[in-house]
Chain A
Amino acid sequence: MLLFSLAYHSLKNRLLTTLLTVFSIGLSIALLIGVENVRVGARESFANTISQTDLIVGARGGSLQLLLYSVFRIGQATNNITYQTYEHWKNHPAVDWTIPYSLGDSHRGFRVVGTNEEFYKHYRFRRDRSITFESGRAPADVFEVALGSDVAKTLNYRTGDKVTITHGVAAAAGRGILDHKDKPFTVTGVLAKTATPVDRSLYIPLEGISAVHIDWTDGAPPMPGEEVPAEKITKQTVKVDQITSFLLRSKSRIDTLRLQREISTYTEEPLQAIIPGLTLQELWRTIGYAEDALTVVTFFVTIVGLLGMLVSLYTSLNERRREMAILRAIGAGPAKIISLLVLESFLLSIAGCVLGVGLVYALSVTFQPIVEEHFGLYVPIQAPTITGWIYLGAVAVAGLLIGFIPAWKAYRNTLSDGLSVRL
């Protein structure tokens, strides 16, 4: 206890140096834990985007590409699949439900998703959460649209507003191939926040996607006078020919494997069926190297922080020669001197760890909503992960071990200083 009190008062006596050292270690720890939290948060955010979906089916191509454009609205599909094929699998006896997606259009940088009522009924995220409406209802008619929470908030849209969709995926209005100005959609509802890419899309009926292209010929808009007015288009008059991909839930997990094989070998159309969780793990394996590189950088930052502590303790020893000599004079043995310095180093690293974790939580609480809104990344505020605790333990132990270097020097100093007349 006496040793602890001595160490505490010694550190307090050099308050500015102590605070700067603790701050330096704290920042390193905050970076180390922060990066770990963001890594875990990113993985959880991605994994939580889609739940209870056994297969994602699309045209044959890359499995990652299919996952990215179907779930995360990143990238483009290379091919579509026919609606006939979709119906074939939808009606398969082993299939519980399906959610069709028709992609390719946008509105002011947000993706437009053509889907049907199955999306609102079956889509699940964060294990078992379903889609709910903050206001209004799901689109029922051809030219009706429901908005993701971020879309409504960013563009300040409300139920009843008119929305024009853009042909192609454009960053802003007018930068796509063409705006479907003659066929505006009416906002019928705004989805409740999900903190997933669902928030950053607009949802129209499958028939809506076909309807805006009903009068197009060979990829070109209609000539003047050949347009089909929106008033003449009803759900019954529009034929859905194709979709981009569909989500599938099988009646049993055991059926999933069989269905995946059957879909992948379907002879009528080249298809691929991916299991989203497995493809996501493939993605993590792919970007794992970048994560490792980031972790290595943060480790080096932490090492720099600890070296700063070593430098601080080591350089302070000259100023503390008298203190050490007095301690020796009043009977403190070499073990006591070494223990004192090691304890000081350990206390500094522990204080740094506490400050670092505190900083991480303070920053998380402050910036969590901003990060979630701008990047769609939900960084959970929770106790450090097992890896986080390992990092903290490693820093505390490293602090303890580093303390032996100045401690040994101090012990050697007290030997020579004890024999010297110059004090």
Chain B
Amino acid sequence: MRLALALLAVGVLLPAQTRSRKAHEHGSAKVNIAFESAKGAPKGVVEFESPADSVVGFEYEAKTAADKAKVTAALNTLKARFGEMVIFPAAAACAMTNKSAKVEADDHHDAKSKGARQEQHSEVHAGFEVACAKPLSGLEIRFGFMKVFPKIHDVNVALLIGDQQLSADVENDKGVLKIAK
């Protein structure tokens, strides 16, 4: 019975999964931070994800030279000023290195509708490596997304550090992540 139910469930849900879309909310962004430990000289990663509109200013595919230049400029700003967006405590002397930054299209082709309407979204994904010279224990991480990209006003930040699992809803750059000692 359980097997039958599971097979039925899987059968019903599989097509749903292939059709499922990721949430795409303009003005919001997501940041994931992970460190193996808060002690010693912590090393970690930071992932950034946002609708392209908030960073680049549009979500259609950049085809003209002007649009391509806008994308390049926006990504360069993101890479260069990410330290102002996710502000690690000065006491920990952290340095961030960009590993990747790109705009990824998320095309949603609705074949069932008349005229096969195409809804186009794209997202900016960026990855950074962080190396801190001193422990992060007992310190705070602050944020300044709007100073760099004014359209990003609501950010969901998750932090994994040692066995601490923390999160913060950063609205209009207000919100901190306090790392326990």
- A residues touching B (Cβ–Cβ < 8 Å)? 51-52, 54, 59-60, 79-82, 104, 127, 210, 213, 216-220, 241-242, 252-254, 256-257, 267, 269-270, 275-278, 281-282, 285
Contact = CB atoms under 8 A, between A and B. Distances in A.
Given A252-B36, A269-B14, A270-B14, A277 B164 contact: yes
A51 B163 contact: yes
B174 to A, nearest CB: 15
Interface residues of B, number: 31
Contacts of A60: 13, 17, 20
A165 to B, nearest CB: 14
B166 A281 contact: yes
B167 A79 contact: no
A52 B163 contact: yes
A270 B13 CA distance: 7
B45 interface: yes
Interface stretch (B3-11, B75-83, B142-150): B3-11
B9 A80 contact: yes
Contact of A278 (B35, B162, B167): B167
A253 B39 CA distance: 14
Summarize B's interface: helix, strand, loop or mixed. mixed
B165 interface: yes
B167 A270 contact: no
Given A241-B2, A253-B35, 9 more contacts: A60-B20, A220-B1, A241-B3, A257-B34, A257-B47, A269-B17, A270-B13, A277-B166, A285-B169
Nearest to A269: B10
A2 B163 CA distance: 57
14 contacts: A59-B13, A79-B10, A216-B1, A220-B1, A241-B2, A242-B6, A252-B36, A253-B36, A253-B160, A253-B161, A254-B34, A257-B32, A257-B45, A276-B165
A80 B166 contact: no
Contacts of B27: none
Contact of B165 (A127, A217, A275): A275
A213 to B, nearest CB: 6
A233 to B, nearest CB: 16
B16 interface: yes
B17 A270 contact: yes
Nearest to B157: A278
Interface string B14-28: 101110100000000
Contacts of A80: 2, 5-6, 9
B175 interface: no
A243 to B, nearest CB: 10
Contacts of A52: 163
B1 A217 contact: yes
Contacts of B45: 254, 257
A275 B158 contact: yes
Given A213-B2, A219-B1, A241-B2, A253 B162 contact: yes
A183 B47 CA distance: 51
B71 to A, nearest CB: 24
A354 B7 CA distance: 63
Contacts of B32: 257
A270 B2 contact: no
Nearest to B13: A270
A281 B167 contact: yes
B135 interface: no
Across chains A and B, which 8 residue pairs bring their CB atoms closest together, nearest first? A277-B165, A270-B17, A219-B1, A79-B9, A253-B160, A278-B167, A242-B6, A241-B3
